[in-house]
Amino acid sequence: MTDQRFIHSQWSSRLAFILAASGSAIGLGNIWKFPYLAGDNGGGAFVMIYLLCVAAIGIPIMIAETLLGRCGRRSPINTMRALADEAKASRIWGYVGWLGVVSGFLILSYYSVIAGWSMAYIFKIGGGFLSHASSEVAQQVFLDLKAAPDVQVIWHTAFMAATLFIVSRGVSDGIERATRIMMPGLFVMLILLDGYALSSEGFGQGVSFLFKPDFARLSGESVLTAMGQAFFSLGLGMGSIMMYGSYLPVQVSISRATLAVASADTLVALLAGIAIFPVVFANHLAPTLGPGLIFETLPIAFGQMPAGRLFGTVFFILVFFAALTSAIALIEPTIAFLSENLGFNRTRASVWSGIACWFIGLGTVFSFNAWAEVSWFGKNFFELVDFLTADIMLPLGGILMALFAGWIMERTLTEAELGRNRAYPLWRILVRYVAPVAVAVIFLRAIGVL
Ligand code: TRP
């Protein structure tokens, strides 16, 4: 294998890494998925387990994954192989990279469909179709979109094309510039929505739903969902952060940079939840609307606030960009692998993976209409892909990375990467024992063994 150390480019600064990694972490997972999962799983207790998973499992694994990337400096598959060679361990570890490539690919297939919905909403709100909408009108507009596979396919195609266009042109430049403007913009819009929520009569009820834990409502599967969401939202377990870590200059502190990213990600998810649930309760809607939650509730809020049409349009444009920066991270390991191992250039790699991913995404489009009744293990196509990736493959990939960093790599190597300080022994205990055991227990509880 050739040494790629000098082939990859590097981030221009610590901030550039933080912005790109936040771009990967902050996406539909925070704004679309977190609120509806919290709604479906009873609120407060779910949120609390989620926060625990971020702190005890997510952050240590994020540090481990970034570290692997910076040590390996290749695509995830080749990084894992090279590091395994270096540690005189089996090359089987390369399959962790494979697992990641497949999961990123599958996630992007449905991610693109949902991002397509938010593109459709830019025009629905911008065109004034939802101004002063009652909750009935807002729900009907969403149901109509859900029932129309052709419209969804058009937006899915547009989103996929935009993603692969950017990816084909190379990572650092475009992403750096886009996230620098979009991320703060998204933040400001969420604060604005929270301001609106604060003045709404549902505020108290919404906030207590989100933060008051009622553990009686929490099933084993809900705990698994909360953990899966921690992996999904932080963008862990499949090599995205490993890729970004591989562009990280050696002098940057990994633990401090990842901590900043994880905090920003969590804050955005909570701000989104605080914006949405007061609207749910003020309009006597159910929190259990599922994947349609933000699309059925936020337009009501925008419909009522001053200049809501403008703010609503800007909001969904920003959601689109947040999704775009995450989509790029989801597909990047596949592109890097195709170019490093099969000699594809970036354009060719983008075109082929884009077409394949687009095709699988059709299954998700149909799971909201024509195939709505088709189910495997009680889940439709979208739910199945989501479950397999977020709840199984990401935690598995993440744990294998943690075990690799904690048990296989030389201690001297990881200590040199992270720096000799008081946090190092804590991190080591977390990746060696706490995170693997926690994930195992959660898996076993979900399938009813514990
Ligand atoms: N974290 C992103 C979100 O919340 C999605 C994402 C990007 C992701 N890269 C990932 C999810 C890697 C899992 C793994 O929308």
Please report which confidence band the pLDDT of residue 256 belongs to, taking 50, 70 and 90 as the band edges.
very high
pTM of the model: 0.95
Nearest-atom number in ligand 1 for the CA of 327 is 7
Cβ proximity of 217 and 223 under 8 Å: no
Q: Is residue 301 in some structural domain?
A: yes
Task: Find the 137 Cα to ligand 1 centroid distance in Å.
Answer: 32
In this predicted structure, the answer to whether residue 326 has a pLDDT above a threshold of 90 is yes
How many structural domains comprise the chain? 1
Q: What is the DSSP-derived secondary structure letter of residue 282?
A: H
- What pLDDT is recorded for position 172? 58
In this predicted structure, the answer to whether residue 170 has a pLDDT above a threshold of 90 is no
Q: Is residue 47 in some structural domain?
A: yes
In angstroms, the CA 8 to CA 70 distance is: 11
In this predicted structure, the answer to whether residue 146 has a pLDDT above a threshold of 70 is yes
Q: Is residue 207 in some structural domain?
A: yes
Where is pLDDT greater, at 238 or 169?
A: 238
Please report which confidence band the pLDDT of residue 102 belongs to, taking 50, 70 and 90 as the band edges.
very high
Range of the domain at 202: 14-446
Residue 242 maps to which CATH number?
Answer: 1.20.1740.10
Planar angle of CA 368, 370, 375, nearest 5 degrees = 70
Q: Is residue 3 in some structural domain?
A: no
Task: Find the 25 Cα to ligand 1 centroid distance in Å.
Answer: 5
Where is pLDDT greater, at 20 or 440?
A: 440
pLDDT tens readout for residues 328-342? 999 988 998 898 889
pLDDT tens readout for residues 265-292? 999 999 999 999 999 999 999 999 999 9
In this predicted structure, the answer to whether residue 450 has a pLDDT above a threshold of 90 is no
pLDDT tens readout for residues 35-82? 999 999 999 999 999 999 999 999 999 999 999 999 998 889 999 999
Task: Find the 233 Cα to ligand 1 centroid distance in Å.
Answer: 5
Q: Is residue 4 in some structural domain?
A: no
* Nearest protein Cα to ligand 1, atom 14: 235
Q: Is residue 319 in some structural domain?
A: yes
- Candidate of 28, 232, 331 to mutate for ligand 1, largest count of ligand atoms within 8 Å of Cβ: 232
Q: Is residue 414 in some structural domain?
A: yes
- What pLDDT is recorded for position 3? 43
pLDDT tens readout for residues 361-376? 999 999 999 999 999 9
Nearest-atom number in ligand 1 for the CA of 330 is 9
Q: Which of 1-5, 179-183, 187-191, 231-235 has the lowest mean pLDDT?
A: 1-5
Q: Is residue 9 in some structural domain?
A: no
Q: Which residues are near ligand 1 (CB < 6 Å)?
A: 24-25, 27-30, 104, 107, 232-233, 235, 238, 240, 326, 329-330, 394
In this predicted structure, the answer to whether residue 179 has a pLDDT above a threshold of 80 is no
- DSSP per residue over 148-212, as a string? -HHHHHHHHHHHHHHHHHHHHT-SHHHHHHHHHHHHHHHHHHHHHHHHHHHTSTTHHHHHHHHHS
Task: Find the 43 Cα to ligand 1 centroid distance in Å.
Answer: 22
* Nearest protein Cα to ligand 1, atom 9: 235
Q: Which of 9-23, 203-217, 315-329 has the lowest mean pLDDT?
A: 9-23
